[in-house]
Structure 1
Amino acid sequence: MSPKNQRKFQYLGKLHAFRGEILSVSDDPLHAPDAVSHQADGLLVVEDGIVVARGDHADLAHCFAHVPVTPIHGLIVPGFIDAHVHYPQMDRIASHGEQLLDWLERHIFPAEKAFADRSHADALAQAFLAELLRHGTTSALVFATVHEGSVDALFEAALARNLRLASGKVLMDLGPEGLRDSLATARAETEALIARWHGRGRLSYAITPRFALTSSDEQLALAGELLATHGDVLLHTHLAENRHECAAVAARFPEAADYLDVYDRFGLVGERSVFAHGIHLSERMCARLAQSGAGIAVCPSSNLFLGSGFFHFGQADRHGVKLGLGTDIGAGTSFSMLYTQGQAYQAALAREERLDPFRALYLATTGSARLLHIADKVGALAVGQEADFVVLDQAATTLLARRCAGASLAERLFAMQILGDDRVVAQTWIMGECAWDKNSAKGANCG
């Protein structure tokens, strides 16, 4: 066996293999057309939750003849990685009638106030994580609320499920009554949460100012200070989502060159910065994002639902901006990263750009992993990565089965992106252990 397919040391842990069709995209096909890895009859060998070998079954079977093998009926892809989602907004999905700023005031801020109650946060965290797994999402960057307990609730639930999750307390000292912190509480609670959770299990922390309008200059400066002090955390916020929002930011910060420059002035633009949306970016902003190493979590279903616009993939690609995909629940209209890939295709086409189905899969896996700085851990089912994967059923619906019959790999993948939803996710596996099974009464215990 070649070194490419096997780690160069003795296997000491528990080995298990999975046999089936395997697909992953380890790099952006826009620049690396050979990044698509596909085995029609593949073998994925896992040791203590880590991939130790992957390749064609015919090439690997003799090396692992002693290893128990689970046959997989469906297409194995890496677990999906949601680069931007709000767990407290789950119960406000499909709220009618407003664009961003009015939608926040009418629907979201009242819902988030309830997270002062820890029992409410615990219940929503459990329901939210169950939805992620049911939709094949195994890693995510998640907004909580301004309440410290909302982060504790999410991290406790994620730790119990062994999910790879990043989150943080929202900073918003200019927020509405009941969702307003102070400089003192922002600092103390953020530091305490980092100490409790960052690096524990598969969890990591993100400094999380909601967006420029909800934090004072002093709090934005504090966020920059916290980011500089804790060099391995993320920065997670919103950027240039909606025209009314952009106009309000420009009015408040007239001295700034643009929306991104507001964050830059406070030390918030760097290689670990994740900005959601980026619908209304100037050429200067794209150039600065690329130069800094910061990236955009593209949220196409949310942008359509709130009437914000369509992300400009061509503009971002010209500058080499780092990209991932997010559902942005609850402005987003589905937890499904398959559906989100399909929405990204349609958003691109609205600007007369074509998003290849393999590139869409890349954005939902390795692309989002790079954005979240976890690409060494997950995203491509590569040797040495954690064995988080999803089994997709291309016959999950009668229509999908008809469309996929006799189709090429690219056609099948695209059909699942356009026609698929949670019904397509047959199983979700976390580090080689079953976490969701559509055919199980309890949604677990893969057969």
Structure 2
Amino acid sequence: MTAASVSNFVLRAHLVWWDDDPFFTGQSVRRSLEDGALACASDGRIAWVGEASALPTEFADWPVVDRRDGMVLPGFVDAHLHFPQTAIIGAYGTDLLAWLETHTFPEESRFGDCAHAETIAAIFADELLAVGVTSACVFSTIHPVALKALAAAFNQRGMGLLSGKTAMDRNAIPALQDSPQSAYDDAKALLLDLQPRYERFGYVVTPRFAITSTEAQLELCGALHAEFPETRMQTHINESAREIATIKELFPADESYLAVYDRFGLVTDRSLFAHGIHSTPAELERMADAGAAVVHCPTSNTFLGSGLFNPGANREAGVAIGLGCDIGGGTAFSPFVTMQEAYKVARFSDQSLTADETFYWHTLGNARVMKTDAEAGSFAAGKWADFVVLESGADNPVAKLRMQRVQSVTDQLFAWQFFAPKVETWTRGVQRT
């Protein structure tokens, strides 16, 4: 039985989720109910969660969806990726700026065509669902039709979306440039249109990065972010050495990359800064003071040779960390690949991320940095019924050997990062894959 054929239902399964960051509060924040029950109401939200033996009588007559052969986690949340780069994953490149000029900008210029944008948006959303991602903070392009296509695709599938029109008015091909005023006007119109229309859509002010925005455009981005307090802000920072050198040439009066954004009101508790590989101690301190977050994107950082993120330095400074697959510089949509690579990258800083830490980042941690944790990222009454059913695959003999040696939930989760399980994805209480 699936939720597509019923209204209210009770999911029976081994439920696992995190109530807080295990790095700071310990493994006890992981909830593991071997015989758990998740009551999902017809409005797509969780009505109750707990031990099956304690299921309230008001849910006793609801149909049961039995997934006790698998482990059920909250739907994965991705905090940074680019939907218009879906077709250029694995495109040969050198460094970040060369890759943008050679592959990204020409590809993104195609998204003024509505039919093309709708086609890619559907493929993009379906691929995310296939790997268990149920909500995400996504980059679009400068084209309003592209954002509209993306928002419609996510809404059709019951997914949560944070996104916005990308602002770029210099240092890109002419077909991919707007102006300060058009960026503001388009963004405001899209915000006022899409937020009321789609229940799970939130607008994100999106200057691509300071290299492709003039001071006039950054000023209007900051004005929009202040005018609408519910908006988030996403951009890139301190990703590569040549990028940072270019920032110094374009903004010689600013003491740091972050200071450029700060000058225009873009460093707030609703700001998500992708990468932050080369952030200075002063920048980390300012981000922490503001409550801004950094989004670690390990597969794109290694693919482009941008550098190795240090989670410990950010944690010590008090900066919240999220995880992103960063398609298409990133090389895989899968959260399991992203978590695996985050573990490997941390080892270069003599740090070992536990499975609790990486799975927390890819669920509640990402929801927190995206300010969607009231509705996603864990299991609690009132949140959306987004979840994934995970089962170890029987087709891979090596994976089967590894799983035979699993001794605990911790061991199971860690192994899945390297031997990804079968994934069944549900959003708003409806089975999607």
- Counterpart among 146, 149, 157 of residue 150 in structure 1: 146
- Which residue in the other structure is 1:10 paired with? none
- Spell out the pairing of 1:47-66 with structure 2 (5 A cutoff): 47-48=41-42, 49-60=44-55, 64-66=59-61
Query: What's the offset of the Cα at 1:221?
Result: 0.4
If the length of structure 2 is used for normalisation, what is the TM-score?
Answer: 0.95
**In structure 1, what is the equivalent of residue 402 of structure 2?**
403
Q: Which residue is 1:435 aligned to?
A: 432
Matches within 5 A, 1:24-43: 24-33=17-26, 34-43=28-37
Q: Deviations over 1:52-75 (max 9, x none)?
A: 222222333766432211111311
Distance across 2 between alignment mates of 1:406 and 1:415:
10
Q: Residue 198 and residue 62 in structure 1: after superposition, are their counterparts in 2 closer, same or farther (change >3 A)? A: closer
In the alignment, residue 379 of structure 1 is paired with which amino acid?
Answer: G
Checking the alignment, whether the CA contact within 8 Å between 1:162 and 1:201 is kept in structure 2 is: no
Moved more, 377-386 or 76-85: 377-386
Alignment of 1:46-445 (within 5 A): 46-48=40-42, 49-60=44-55, 64-72=59-67, 73-174=69-170, 175-199=172-196, 200-396=198-394, 397-407=396-406, 408-420=408-420, 424-436=421-433
SS at match of 1:419: coil
Offset at 1:160?
A: 1.5
1:12-67: CA deviation from partner (whole Å, max 9, x where unpaired): x9531111111111211011122100011211111222222222223337664322
CA distance in 2, matches of 1:116, 1:62: 53
Q: Secondary structure at the match of 2:22?
A: coil
Question: SS state of the match for residue 378, structure 1?
Answer: coil
Q: 3-state SS of the aligned residue for 2:192?
A: helix
Aligned residues of 1:339 and 1:419 also touching (Cα < 8 A): no
Paired residue type of 1:17: V
Cα distance between partner residues in 1 of 2:49 and 2:404: 27
1:136–1:425: 8 Å Cα contact kept in structure 2? no
After TM superposition, give the deviation of residue 425 of structure 1 in Å.
3.7
Q: Aligned partner of 2:216: which letter?
A: E
> Which AA in structure 2 matches 1:417?
Q
**Residue 41 of structure 2 aligns to which amino acid in structure 1?**
E
Q: Structure 1: how far apart are the matches of 2:250 and 2:150?
A: 33
Task: Measure, in 1, the Cα distance between the counterparts of 2:141 and 2:183.
Answer: 12
Q: Give % identity.
A: 39
Give the number of equivalent residue pairs: 421
SS in structure 2 of the partner of residue 188 of structure 1 = helix
Structure 1 length-normalised TM: 0.92
- Inter-partner Cα distance in structure 1 for 2:340 and 2:246: 31
Pairwise CA RMSD: 1.4
Following superposition, which runs of at least 4 residues in structure 1 exceed 4 angstroms of deviation?
none
Consecutive unaligned residues in structure 2, runs of 5 or more? 1-5
Q: Distance in 2 between matches of 1:188 and 1:17?
A: 46
When structure 1 is superposed on structure 2, of 340-349 and 62-71 the one drifting more is 62-71
Structure 2 distance, partners of 1:294, 1:237, is: 12
Task: Check the 8 A contact 2:181/2:220 in 1, yes or no.
Answer: no
Partner amino acid for 1:409?
A: V
CA distance in 1, matches of 2:108, 2:359: 32
Q: What SS does the corresponding residue of 2:417 show, helix, strand or coil?
A: helix
